[in-house]
Structure 1
Amino acid sequence: MLRTFGATRTLGAGDFERVMQLCAQDPMTNVFVAARVQEGGLGFGGSLLGVEEDHLLTSMCWISANVVPVSCDDEALDVFASRLRRHRRRVSSIFGESEQVLGLWERLYRHWGEPRSLRPDQPMMACTTLPATQGRLIDPRVRQARIDEVDLVLPASAAMFTEEIGYPPYVGSDRDYRNLVSSLIRAGHTYVVIEDGRVVFKADVGSMAGGVAQIQGVWVAPDARGQGLAAPAMNGVVQHVMEVFAPVVTLYVNGYNEPALRAYDRAGFAQVGQFATVIL
């Protein structure tokens, strides 16, 4: 099958194994899509488009509130861009491996207009060693949040989102956002340090698949910054995640965020790739 616009189709439950095999070619980069598929994404709403060549699945694009290209060359990006042009109002961000994201955005910006933010330099970092075995300092206060602590976690989550994205995660009712925060806590995917009845550090496991856990939503309370809290707290998160969930822990961070980069370096993370994000 030639790589033309006609080569793209919506993937479904019958494509599960092929989708996971393609994600497994680069499990650290593709953990978001792999996790969504494992959670049932192929069974709902036609969220994943695929490009085939000679009956082999060669490229994919996750399309929901987030757009994430997977293993896309220029021809595949052409195909997906042609399908995406009419989806602008449904999309809040494009993210993933930088060359693919920037290539896709180059094909879309004339149709979608100026983004809220374009972040082309986001080091993707990974940690593969247990902090305890490397003598890295671990904050003993780090633990999984409890479901009865939603009211403590919610303000920290909302503050992190607002700082990172530039606008609040909800206006008016917090019901939907509260449900999202609660679901992470129930899964044991939210880690906190609590002092004097408030969250001073928070991090979430946002995606997990193929032996990789991706950390997101890392936040330190403003009045606790610059005090050496972040690295030991991250060590505590990594130690538990590796022991319980996955042997590889990843995250990506804005290249201009030097304090975060220093903290992650002290927590044993090293750059293994390059991400980019377009916030719409």
Structure 2
Amino acid sequence: MGVRVLGPRDLSAARAVIARDPVINVFVDSLIQSSGLDPRRGAEVWGYVDRGELQSLCHAGGNLVPVEADDIAIRQFAAYALRRGRNCFQIVGPARAVQLFWSLVERQWGPPREIRPDQPFMVIDGPPAIEPDPRVRRVEPVELPALYPACVAMYTEEVGVPPQTGPDGTFYRSRVAELIRTGRAFAWIEDGQVVFKAEIGAVGTGVCQIQGVWVEPSRRGQGIAAPAMAAVVELARTIAPVVTLYVNAFNTPARAAYERVGFHTTQTFATVLF
């Protein structure tokens, strides 16, 4: 019984853990599919093993994300994390797991920059309930100079600090460019300016997750978000039939827009930001 760093030989067992709830676990599923559990190709993934069986996972990169972790597994992950030290900039996942993990590491890892304890995790698995806005479309690679500033603005507004760009200033820009290249960036661009945008930040097994939803500040309150999100859902469902997102409970306009589109809440997430 205990925690260890997983490797490629553990991929099948790790995927079986994720498959218990592929919708909730879409973010880590996407990362594991990309890395194949090779730490050289991505972040570490820790596994909690009990009686020789892999029971739970914890993605331990910039985002620390527990997966299918009960209280025993969380306590084991927290003890392991305290020995290793904090490398993440946020802890995120199902609220109960995040809150217990945080309570166990807070004395050594605190204080946080912010705690968001109530983030509805929302799902839609069919066509949008309202007419999509046809002006929202996939972003073309030549439009990176228009999209990138909007992505930086969204990130800074949402997270509270600018995105980490890396020593050469290209890391975040490269991430945005990759989303465009893979057809996972969507926007309404008018006269070279982004009015609305969103991306598919994770693609798992039959599930994808929308991230980075943003409306240009001067256009807010005009009813843009819901039809635009309906268009994103239509486009996203060409990638995976089930579409997810999570949102801060205090963001009532966004929640109302998502509900108009047809999203419903299935779980509560929480995030601890450093």
Q: Normalising to structure 1: TM-score of the pair?
A: 0.93
- Whether 1:106 and 2:103 are equivalent positions in the alignment is yes
**Aligned to 1:90, which of 63, 87, 91?**
87
User: Match for residue 176 of structure 2?
Assistant: 181
**Aligned to 1:197, which of 192, 198, 211?**
192
Q: Is the 8 A contact 2:11 2:36 kept in 1?
A: no
Partner SS for 1:42? coil
Query: How much has 1:54 moved relative to structure 2?
Result: 2.3
**Aligned to 2:64, which of 56, 67, 72?**
67
User: Match for residue 34 of structure 1?
Assistant: 29
- Alpha-carbon distance between aligned partners in 1 of 2:77 and 2:164, rounded to the nearest angstrom: 30
Query: How much has 1:267 moved relative to structure 2?
Result: 0.9
**Aligned to 1:143, which of 122, 137, 147?**
137
Measured on the aligned residues, the alpha-carbon RMSD in Å equals: 1.4
Q: Is the 8 A contact 1:191 1:237 kept in 2?
A: yes
Report the CA distance shift for 1:223/1:86 in structure 2 as closer, same or farther (over 3 A): farther
- Whether 1:11 and 2:6 are equivalent positions in the alignment is yes
Query: How much has 1:56 moved relative to structure 2?
Result: 1.6
Matches within 5 A, 1:209-224: 209-224=204-219
Query: How much has 1:87 moved relative to structure 2?
Result: 4.6
What amino acid does structure 1 have at the position aligned with 2:269? F
Query: How much has 1:37 moved relative to structure 2?
Result: 0.5
- Alpha-carbon distance between aligned partners in 1 of 2:84 and 2:177, rounded to the nearest angstrom: 29
| Off by >2 Å, runs of 4+ in structure 1 | 86-89, 170-174
Report the CA distance shift for 1:53/1:86 in structure 2 as closer, same or farther (over 3 A): closer
User: Match for residue 165 of structure 1?
Assistant: 159
Deviates more, 1:50-59 or 1:183-192: 50-59
Report the CA distance shift for 1:30/1:52 in structure 2 as closer, same or farther (over 3 A): same
User: Match for residue 279 of structure 1?
Assistant: 273
**Aligned to 2:262, which of 262, 268, 271?**
268
Q: Is the 8 A contact 2:136 2:231 kept in 1?
A: yes
**Aligned to 1:121, which of 102, 118, 130?**
118
Matches within 5 A, 1:235-246: 235-242=230-237, 244-246=238-240
- Whether 1:81 and 2:78 are equivalent positions in the alignment is yes
- Alpha-carbon distance between aligned partners in 1 of 2:154 and 2:168, rounded to the nearest angstrom: 18
Report the CA distance shift for 1:170/1:73 in structure 2 as closer, same or farther (over 3 A): closer
User: Match for residue 15 of structure 2?
Assistant: 20
Identity of aligned residues (%): 44
Q: Is the 8 A contact 2:75 2:104 kept in 1?
A: yes
**Aligned to 2:52, which of 52, 55, 69?**
55
Query: How much has 1:89 moved relative to structure 2?
Result: 4.6
Query: How much has 1:202 moved relative to structure 2?
Result: 0.6
Partner SS for 2:37? helix
- Alpha-carbon distance between aligned partners in 2 of 1:108 and 1:76, rounded to the nearest angstrom: 14
Deviations 1:37-90 (A, max 9, x none): 000150124611111122221111110111000111121111111111255452
Deviations 1:9-58 (A, max 9, x none): 11111111111111111111111111100001501246111111222211
Query: How much has 1:170 moved relative to structure 2?
Result: 4.2
Q: Is the 8 A contact 1:41 1:47 kept in 2?
A: no
Q: Is the 8 A contact 2:144 2:177 kept in 1?
A: yes
- Alpha-carbon distance between aligned partners in 2 of 1:66 and 1:125, rounded to the nearest angstrom: 20
